[in-house]
Amino acid sequence: MQARILRISVGIVLLLTGYIVGTHTSASIHAQTMRGAVPSSYGRLVAGDSSSLWFEDNAGTLRQVTIPAGNTIYTITRQR
């Protein structure tokens, strides 16, 4: 009987210890910095989302550029 009580008590202590240690550890997540160059002929930055940036030059041409690769996806020219 005493061995059973001791076994249950040790199990409860281990369970509580695991819970307390598990809930008090923290994970830190850092944003990854990306560096790249876009030609100044693309113009000014007008919009952006999680995977691309939009640029507009003085002539009204819009360019969508992917962030990871730096490739131009779309080039849209306004007709005047």
> For residues 45 and 54, is the Cβ–Cβ distance under 8 A?
yes
pLDDT in tens, 33-43: 666 677 788 88
Q: Which two tokens stand for residue 73?
A: 């996806």
pTM exceeds cut of 0.75: no
Q: Which two tokens stand for residue 78?
A: 């306004």
Q: Is the pLDDT of residue 69 over 80?
A: no
Residue 9: pLDDT band by 50, 70, 90 thresholds?
A: very high
